[in-house]
């Protein structure tokens, strides 16, 4: 049995909307609406879906940066929300995160070496006189020369900044690294550098990744297992190769076919979706993909399909596939 590092169980997260009328019925935006998945130790776990589908909110729930309206998150078998502050801090160190915008994550007035060292000081890790060496080792691990220690964020390129953020996350030796669109803000020619670095780190440190991205080419390239989200729900979950070779959910099929291929004149096989996703505030009844689905049946407008395991861990939430 593979060891589970993260268990997300029936997560819901609603945000109350401000209403302009005093006695109007309160309205809620359902950012995450019943999400269950596990992340195994050492795996490169991918989350894909389009803007507003709840990827980032799910990440925040996993990191206990937001509290679920309903449901629980277990990290190493423990429910973060029940821990005492001291224990919480200790366990929370094992999860680190990096986001899309590396510049926003860095202090403009502090040299980057000191910023990488900061978590060691805050959490009192290692002997103070060894810390500089630890930082230099970390710089080397993210392929930066020692001279970068004294540089400031504005002197660095986007790719170099993302390496600094990565070094700062890795220096506390976490077990889980949550990356939310970590390369979207980088130049195309730099993305490959950072992706290769992620892959190397993953192998060398046996680190578990939760990798959120809308770039299916990259996700396919790096991830072992993937969930596809649509409007706050998981619609499909499978090993990466299986997902791309044997795509089951109509939404995943459209999403994957929409990725422009690098072969000129290849648009023939495209499944064109019509319309936009419905508003996550007033979700219609039934399957939430129904309004854009070309295979929609009357039943799909009535009830919501559950995520069903089709064997070998390939799960899908579509009546036409599961028959249930």
Partner 1 sequence: MLHVKNLKVDFEVDGRRIRILHGVDLDLEEGETLGLVGESGCGKSVTCSAILRILADNATVTGEVMYDGTDLLKLPASKMEEIRGKDITMIFQDPVVYMNPVKTIGNQITEVIHLHEKCSQAEADKKAIDLLTQVGIPHPETRLKYYPHQLSGGLCQRVMIAMALACKPKLLMADEPTTALDVTVQAQILDLLRSLNKKLGMATILVTHDLGVIAENVKRVMVMYAGVVVEEGPVDIIFKKPAHPYTEGLLNSLPKMDGQEGDLIPIEGSVPAPDKRPAGCCFGPRCKYMTDECLKGQPKLTTINGTHRCACFHPVHGTYGGEA
Residues that bind partner 1 (CB under 8 A): 50-51, 157-160, 187-193, 195-196, 199, 214, 216-218, 220-221, 241, 244, 254-256, 258-267, 270, 272-276
Residue 267 Cβ vs partner 1, minimum distance, rounded to whole Å: 5
Phi, psi (5° rounding) for residue 55? -60, -50
For 281, the token pair is: 């505030």
208: how many CB neighbours lie within 10 A of its CB?
23
Helix, strand, or coil (residue 32): strand
Residue 240 Cβ vs partner 1, minimum distance, rounded to whole Å: 9
155: how many CB neighbours lie within 10 A of its CB?
12
Strand-strand pairing, 95-98 and 176-180: parallel
Closer residue to partner 1 (CB): 97 or 318: 318
Closer residue to partner 1 (CB): 141 or 254: 254
Residue 36 Cβ vs partner 1, minimum distance, rounded to whole Å: 24
Closer residue to partner 1 (CB): 192 or 205: 192
Which of 63, 50, 53, 10 is closest to 29 using CA atoms?
53
Closer residue to partner 1 (CB): 248 or 255: 255
DSSP calls for 148-206 = GGG--GGGS-HHHHHHHHHHHHHTT--SEEEEESTTTTS-HHHHHHHHHHHHHHHHHHT
Residue 260 Cβ vs partner 1, minimum distance, rounded to whole Å: 3
| Residues forming a β-bridge with 229 | 234
Closer residue to partner 1 (CB): 105 or 156: 156
Closer residue to partner 1 (CB): 79 or 155: 155
Residue 11 Cβ vs partner 1, minimum distance, rounded to whole Å: 23
How far apart, in Å, do the first and last CA atoms of the chain sit?
28
Residue 86 Cβ vs partner 1, minimum distance, rounded to whole Å: 42
């Amino acid at each position: 049995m593979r060891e589970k590092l993260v268990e997300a169980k029936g997560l819901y997260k609603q945000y109350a909307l401000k209403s302009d009328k005093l006695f109007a019925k309160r309205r809620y935006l359902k950012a995450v609406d019943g999400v269950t998945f596990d992340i195994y130790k050492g795996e490169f776990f991918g989350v894909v879906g389009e803007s507003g589908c709840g990827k980032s909110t799910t990440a925040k729930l996993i990191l206990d940066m937001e509290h679920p309206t309903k449901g629980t998150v277990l990290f190493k078998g423990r429910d973060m929300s029940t821990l005492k502050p001291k224990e919480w801090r200790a366990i929370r160190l094992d999860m680190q995160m990096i986001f899309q915008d590396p510049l926003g994550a860095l202090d403009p007035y502090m040299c980057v070496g000191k910023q990488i060292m900061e978590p060691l000081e805050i959490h009192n890790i290692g002997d103070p006189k060894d810390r500089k060496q630890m930082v230099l080792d970390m710089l080397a691990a993210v392929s930066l020369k020692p001279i970068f220690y004294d540089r400031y964020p504005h002197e660095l390129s986007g790719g170099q900044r993302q390496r600094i953020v990565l070094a700062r996350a890795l220096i506390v030796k976490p077990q889980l690294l949550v990356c939310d669109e970590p390369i979207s803000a980088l130049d195309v020619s730099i993305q490959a550098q950072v992706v290769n670095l992620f892959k190397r780190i993953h192998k060398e440190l046996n680190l578990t990744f939760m990798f959120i991205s809308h770039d299916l080419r990259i996700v396919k390239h790096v991830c072992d297992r993937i969930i596809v989200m649509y409007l706050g729900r998981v619609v499909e979950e499978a090993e990466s190769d299986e997902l791309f070779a044997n795509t089951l959910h109509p939404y995943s099929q459209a999403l994957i076919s929409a990725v422009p291929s690098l072969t000129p004149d290849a648009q023939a096989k495209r499944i064109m979706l019509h319309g936009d996703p419905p508003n996550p505030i007033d979700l219609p009844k039934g399957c939430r993909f129904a309004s854009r689905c070309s295979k929609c049946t009357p039943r799909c407008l009535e009830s919501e399909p559950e995520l069903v395991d089709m064997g070998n861990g390939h799960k899908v939430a579509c009546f036409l596939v599961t028959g249930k």
